[in-house]
Chain A
Amino acid sequence: MDEIIKIENVSKIYKTGTTKVEAVRKLNLSVKKGEFIAIMGPSGSGKSTSMNLIGSLDLPTEGKIFLDGKDISHLNESALSQIRGKKIGFIFQQFNLIPNLTAKENVALPMLFQGISSKKREKRASELLKMLGLKERMNSYPNQLSGGEQQRVAIARALANDPEVILADEPTGNLDSKNGKIVLDFLKSLNKKGKTIILVTHDQNLAKYAEKIFWLRDGKIEKVTSNKK
């Protein structure tokens, strides 16, 4: 199987004034197409930083990052945005919907940035929201939706451009267990359809959904475990 993501000796150093924080150090990690992996570790261990690097939202201080075989660590911002919008779908803990757009408009937005026609955007956004059981909520604004509904809209948005990889950073952190399970079950079903899923979580129970778990500590991989059925 091909590697969709490959991280080679990546370090990320944050400088604030005179202090340096090495959020990620000499990280090596690879994810195959169609895998469901989890990243676990204590707070501050560098999970979100790794996630942002994988998602090309941030550039490494050192090292190389390959997305689908292509080194993205030296691309300019515009090219990164374009790749990110097409190949990666983000799901955040805080849902991060745009407050003044309806559910449907939120889902359609990533497609706008890929230059897709408004008719096609509308159609696909409706289909995705239907698939997530939000047929009745398409024209609601985020503040009119429950947390569970908002996160499902966010999932629909992450799927808008049919990306290869879904990055979910604590997607259930702000949800109750019932809604958390809906989200995870949905991610699992996406994985069954061939999507690569990377899940960041604190929760051992959620990590069970993944085939493989990367344990981070102090910006480094401490161990890798597999969940074999």
Chain B
Amino acid sequence: MILDYLILSFKNLKRRGVRSWLTLLGIFIGITLVVSLVSLGNSLQLAVMSQFGVSSTQVITVQAGGVGYTPPGSGVVKYLTSEDAREIEKLDLVEVAIPRNIETVKLQFNRKTRLVAAASIPEGEKRKYIYQLLDLTAEKGRLLEKEDSKKIILGYNFFDKDKNGFDKKIVPGKSVLINGRKFKVVGIIEKKGSFILDNVICVGDDDLKELAGYGDEVDLIVVKVKDKDLMNKAKDEIENLLRKRRDVKKGEEDFTVQTPQSLLETVNKVLGGVNVFVIILASISIVVGAIGIANTMTTSILERKREIGIMKAIGARNKDIFLQFFIEAGILGLIGGVFGAIAGTILGYFGAMELNKLMNIFARPEISFSLLFLAIMSSFFIGSIAGVIPAMRAAKQNPVECLRG
């Protein structure tokens, strides 16, 4: 039955003039804004996540210092130690805990010197874990293996002579000087689209310790949790442990334990500000759109009075007339929503592309079908809500008067 009314409504809509299509502009703009914003936000989130080098959802990051995004290890009073990492690893929920250090070193190549960030790659068995956790693979050459020493691998940008600052690309097999000591490049890491990972050099832990002399201090502990459903529980356990070890009270932590979830929340907080503004804008256009739909529907009652009279004469009940106008308004909204969703997806796509160029990141445009479905369904809903009052008016028309014209 409803299907029949849908067909009737479509037939009516086909006859409509340009004017009533124009009233869809509001819904169109509103849905466009929402869809493009949300998809842009989604890809931005992914981009930000990859900037922080978190690609696995099972990873918890522990840093000394309070909440915030100071580079790991800077401005910290009380460092984490490799002992902390060993203790964390003993927790039931933890599969592995890898201490990591990031140091600024002098890199010499092609008779030029640059300061670059060097990240430690753990020694021994844990090497394969860190590659897995950071999702690292070799683009050229190979990654560091168990017994490698005095060997390094480089982020993708070192492979690009325009980006590496040495005017010459560094390829596996070449030697470079780090703080005056000779190291052999064995591999280039696949492009990650992350500012950090693409510009880092990775040095074995023992080698980096020797170069920078950080001893037992650790900038960052990367923890892999056994079960990704127990992330929050693992986080609590790690926090408990560290509070005890560092002798601090709850609420006064001088360290930060971060899950991808909590990282996301921070990112969302930043995006939230922008969101609020656009959502207000979108709501205004949607309200304007709804008023537009209500208005065309009211006009069309006057234009179709005779039709209403005929339908009643041949047995249409008030509810039949109501349904027809109601569904018609819904479809009007739906059409605005479908075009809005298409435009929003396109806009989100190009927005992500522009963002990539602007920030030199790689935010993959995300098309979320559930978002599109939701947007389109709610535009139908908005349209039909706007149609309630006109549809009620249409249903209440007196048939005799309608037929008199």
Write the residues of chain A forming the contact surface with B, with a CB cutoff of 8 angstroms: 52, 55, 57-58, 77-78, 81-82, 84-86, 90, 92, 96-101, 105, 109-110, 112-115, 118, 157, 160-161
Provide a sorted-by-A list of 10 A–B residue pairs whose CB atoms are within 8 angstroms: A57-B399, A57-B400, A78-B319, A81-B315, A81-B320, A84-B313, A85-B314, A96-B403, A98-B307, A110-B315
Q: In the docked arrangement, what's the CA distance between A161 and B319, Å?
A: 20
Q: Once the chains bind, are A78 and B317 in contact (CB under 8 Å)?
A: yes
> Chain B's nearest CB lies how many Å from the CB of A50?
12
- Give the chain A neighbours of B320 by CB distance below 8 A: 81, 113
Q: Once the chains bind, are A110 and B312 in contact (CB under 8 Å)?
A: no
- Give the chain A neighbours of B399 by CB distance below 8 A: 57-58
- Which of B9-17, B41-49, B362-370 has 4 or more CB atoms under 8 Å from chain A? B9-17
Q: Once the chains bind, are A92 and B403 in contact (CB under 8 Å)?
A: yes
- Give the chain B neighbours of A82 by CB distance below 8 A: 315, 317
Question: Given A57-B313, A98-B310, A118-B4, are A77 and B318 also a contact pair (CB < 8 Å)?
Answer: yes
Check B1 for interface membership: any CB of A closer than 8 A: yes
Check B243 for interface membership: any CB of A closer than 8 A: no
In B380-405, the 8 Å CB interface with A consists of 399-400, 403
Q: In the docked arrangement, what's the CA distance between A212 and B8, Å?
A: 41
- Give the chain B neighbours of A96 by CB distance below 8 A: 306, 309-310, 313, 403
Nearest neighbor of A92 in chain B, beta-carbon distance: B403
Q: Once the chains bind, are B1 and A115 in contact (CB under 8 Å)?
A: yes
- Give the chain A neighbours of B14 by CB distance below 8 A: 100
Among A84, A92, A97, point to the contact of B315 (Cβ < 8 A): A84
Q: Once the chains bind, are A52 and B4 in contact (CB under 8 Å)?
A: no
Q: In the docked arrangement, what's the CA distance between A138 and B307, Å?
A: 20
- Give the chain B neighbours of A85 by CB distance below 8 A: 314-316
What 8 pairs between A and B have smallest CB-CB spacing?
A85-B315, A113-B315, A110-B314, A81-B317, A78-B317, A58-B400, A96-B310, A90-B313
Nearest neighbor of B10 in chain A, beta-carbon distance: A100
Nearest neighbor of B396 in chain A, beta-carbon distance: A77
Q: In the docked arrangement, what's the CA distance between A109 and B313, Å?
A: 11
Q: In the docked arrangement, what's the CA distance between A157 and B316, Å?
A: 14
Q: In the docked arrangement, what's the CA distance between A153 and B316, Å?
A: 18
Check B311 for interface membership: any CB of A closer than 8 A: yes
Nearest neighbor of A121 in chain B, beta-carbon distance: B4
> Chain B's nearest CB lies how many Å from the CB of A99?
8
Q: Once the chains bind, are B12 and A157 in contact (CB under 8 Å)?
A: no
Q: Once the chains bind, are B318 and A78 in contact (CB under 8 Å)?
A: yes
Which among B1, B11, B310, B313 has the greatest number of chain A C-beta atoms within 10 A?
B313
> Chain A's nearest CB lies how many Å from the CB of B13?
9
- Give the chain B neighbours of A52 by CB distance below 8 A: 400
Q: Once the chains bind, are A77 and B306 in contact (CB under 8 Å)?
A: no
- Give the chain A neighbours of B314 by CB distance below 8 A: 84-85, 90, 109-110, 113, 157, 160
Q: Once the chains bind, are A161 and B315 in contact (CB under 8 Å)?
A: yes
Q: In the docked arrangement, what's the CA distance between A209 and B4, Å?
A: 39
Q: Once the chains bind, are A81 and B316 in contact (CB under 8 Å)?
A: yes
* Binary A-proximity of B1-29 (CB < 8 A = 1, otherwise 0): 10010001001101100000000000000
- Give the chain A neighbours of B317 by CB distance below 8 A: 77-78, 81-82, 113
Q: In the docked arrangement, what's the CA distance between A149 and B278, Å?
A: 57
Q: Once the chains bind, are B4 and A112 in contact (CB under 8 Å)?
A: yes
Q: Once the chains bind, are B11 and A100 in contact (CB under 8 Å)?
A: yes
Nearest neighbor of A81 in chain B, beta-carbon distance: B317
Q: In the docked arrangement, what's the CA distance between A86 and B314, Å?
A: 8
- Give the chain A neighbours of B318 by CB distance below 8 A: 77-78, 81
Q: Once the chains bind, are B316 and A113 in contact (CB under 8 Å)?
A: yes
- Give the chain B neighbours of A105 by CB distance below 8 A: 11
> Chain A's nearest CB lies how many Å from the CB of B42?
42
Q: In the docked arrangement, what's the CA distance between A201 and B319, Å?
A: 34
Among A77, A109, A114, point to the contact of B311 (Cβ < 8 A): A109
Nearest neighbor of B3 in chain A, beta-carbon distance: A118
Beyond known contacts A85-B314, A105-B11: 7 more, CB 8 A cutoff: A58-B399, A92-B403, A96-B306, A97-B310, A98-B310, A113-B320, A157-B314
Q: In the docked arrangement, what's the CA distance between A101 and B304, Å?
A: 14
Nearest neighbor of B401 in chain A, beta-carbon distance: A58
Q: Once the chains bind, are A114 and B400 in contact (CB under 8 Å)?
A: no
Q: In the docked arrangement, what's the CA distance between A81 and B403, Å?
A: 15
Q: In the docked arrangement, what's the CA distance between A172 and B295, Å?
A: 38
Q: Once the chains bind, are A114 and B315 in contact (CB under 8 Å)?
A: yes
- Give the chain B neighbours of A98 by CB distance below 8 A: 307, 310-311
